[in-house]
Amino acid sequence: MKAVIQRVSHAEVTVDRETVGSCGRGLLVLLGVAEGDTRQDAELLCKKIVNLRIFQDDAGKMNRSVLDVGGEMLVISQFTLMANCRHGNRPDFMASAKPNEAIPLYEYFKQLAAESVSRVECGVFGADMKVSLLNDGPVTIVLDTETLKK
């Protein structure tokens, strides 16, 4: 499971020009589910993200988590995080989980996040989404459960 986390002032996702999810100050999480990922991967990744100290404290140091600052979260499914670009110029996405595996893990991740973060919204799995955001910092972190397990 992979995630791109962006600290945002605000973010929103639209489908067919209609807002389906948004957040204020907090985190935009682009979430990719790989073939073979498990609920344990979702738990590990969610715990890491909600506790990631990437918000500034009173001294201006990144020392606070989204929980510490009462932030919000917008979670967007993004299978393209599993792109393999080793051969040629057209990415292959064979490493991404099929929808029947990915959707339950995506939903489980959102459920876990909502147990900790006061407001969690999301995009529409598999839809053509337009995401807009104001990156705060900018701060962007990439996490991969394969790396986190080591």
Find, among 111, 136, 104, 132, the residue nearest to 7 by Cα.
136
* CA separation for the pair 70, 82 (Å, rounded): 31
Which regions of the chain does DSSP assign to beta strands (E)?
A: 2-15, 18-23, 26-32, 55-56, 62-64, 72-77, 120-122, 129-144
- Is residue 55 flagged as an active site residue? no
- Is residue 78 flagged as an active site residue? yes
Q: Which residue has the tokens 């985190």?
A: 27
Find, among 2, 49, 22, the residue nearest to 120 by Cα.
22
From the candidates 19, 38, 40, 80, give the one annotated as an active-site residue: 80
- Is residue 80 flagged as an active site residue? yes
From the candidates 6, 78, 109, 145, give the one annotated as an active-site residue: 78
From the candidates 6, 14, 79, 109, give the one annotated as an active-site residue: 79
Q: DSSP secondary-structure letter at 97?
A: P
Estimate to the nearest angstrom the gap between the alpha carbon of 79 and the chain centroid: 11
Give me the active site residues, please.
Answer: 78-80
